[in-house]
A and B are shown apart, each in its own frame.
Chain A
Amino acid sequence: MTYKSKLEKLLSEKKFVVTTEVGPPKGCDPRKIKDKAELLRNYSDAFNITDNQTAVVRLSSMGGSVILLNMGLEPIMQMSCRDRNRIALQSDVLGAASCGVKNILFISGDHQSFGNHPDAKGVYDVDSIQLINIVKNMRDEGIFESKDKILSERPDIFIGAAANPFADPFDYRVDRLEKKIDAGADFIQTQSVYNLDRFREYMDDVRSRDLDKKVFILAGITPLKSLRMAERMKFYVPGVDVPENYYLRMKDASDQKKEGFDIAVELINEIKKIKGVHGIHITALFWEDIVPSLVKKVDLFPRP
Chain B
Amino acid sequence: MCFISYFQMIITKKKDFNELTQLINKKPVFIIGCSECATLCNTGGEKEVREMKEKLEKENINVTGWVILDPACHLNNDKRILKKYKENISKSEKILVLACGNGSQTVSEIIQDADVIPGTDTLFLGEIKRLGEFEKRCEMCGECIQDLFAGICPVSRCPKVILNGPCGGASNGKCEINKEMDCVWILIINQLKKKGKMDLLKKIQKPKNWSKSEEYRRASKNDL
Contact = CB atoms under 8 A, between A and B. Distances in A.
A124 B160 contact: yes
A214 to B, nearest CB: 15
Contact of A167 (B160, B166, B201): B166
Given A145-B207, A168-B183, A182-B204, A129 B164 contact: yes
Interface string B184-202: 0010010000000010011
Contacts, number: 92
Given A168-B173, A169-B186, A126 B168 contact: no
A111 B176 contact: yes
Interface string B8-30: 00000000000000000000000
Interface in B164-179: 164-173, 176-177
Interface in A111-125: 111, 113, 122, 124-125
B75 interface: no
Contact of A113 (B177, B198, B201, B208): B177
A14 to B, nearest CB: 28
A127 interface: yes
B142 interface: no
Nearest to B177: A111
B162 interface: yes
B196 to A, nearest CB: 15
A126 B201 CA distance: 17
Given A130-B205, A172-B189, A183-B204, A167 B163 contact: no
Interface of A: 81-82, 86, 108-109, 111, 113, 122, 124-130, 133-134, 145, 162-164, 166-169, 172, 175-176, 179, 182-183, 191, 238-239
Interface of B: 159-173, 176-177, 183, 186, 189, 198, 201-202, 204-208, 210
25 contacts: A86-B207, A111-B159, A111-B177, A124-B160, A124-B162, A125-B207, A126-B208, A127-B160, A127-B161, A127-B164, A130-B164, A130-B204, A133-B204, A145-B207, A162-B168, A163-B168, A164-B168, A167-B167, A167-B170, A167-B171, A169-B186, A169-B189, A172-B166, A183-B204, A238-B169
